[in-house]
A = this chain, B = another copy of it.
Amino acid sequence: MKKQGSPPLKIDRLVPKVRKGLTVVITGHGKGKTTAALGMALRALGHGMRVCIIQFMKGDLYAGEWDGVKLLGDRVELHATGKGFCGIQGNPYPKSEHRANAQDAIQLALEKMASGLFDMVILDEINNALQLKLIDLEQVLEILETKPPLMHLVLTGRDAHPLLIELADTVSEVVEVKHAYRKEIEPQPGVDY
């Protein structure tokens, strides 16, 4: 390839004067919430950080990130703690079982945060779990309150609670403009799972 351009004269590196662990909420009904959190994990790992990912409600359906994360080495761990999406057609488990699993996920999150071992904790689909009453608002508030000041906390899932939006530092709503499944295209590996 014949290049027209040239590299930048120098590469800068941002260093914040004040370090702060952010609370980030990624909500909305569009595609890209879990992957946005996974991308933050990749970014954090690039900075030498350690990351814990806890997936609520997921665990019964293979997702590429389970193996993707293994490629990243021992500074990241992923726990898929659930039994699928409670209440959707075909899911065979009673709500009480979904709640028991989500309660375990909350305890795991509190333990991982308290361990001091992680620079970023991602609670994937926790918004969903709260909306479905598999966990209680007080429990999520406890997580926000006990978050170590320098640790980043990322909460994903549709229908984020208004109080969490109020308390978070950065909130994005991923809006569905269009989605392949509406054209009868099946979920595709790499993109959808």
Contacts and interface: CB of A to CB of B under 8 A. Distances in A.
Contacts of A97: 5-6
A111 interface: yes
A37 interface: yes
Nearest to A23: B180
A28 interface: yes
Interface residues of A, number: 101
Contacts of A28: 172, 174-175
Interface in A33-92: 33-47, 49, 59-73, 81-84, 92
A163 interface: no
Contacts of A104: 1, 3-5
A36 B24 CA distance: 14
- A17, A169, A172: most-surrounded residue (chain B CB, <10 A): A172
Contacts of A40: 35, 190-191
B188 A177 contact: no
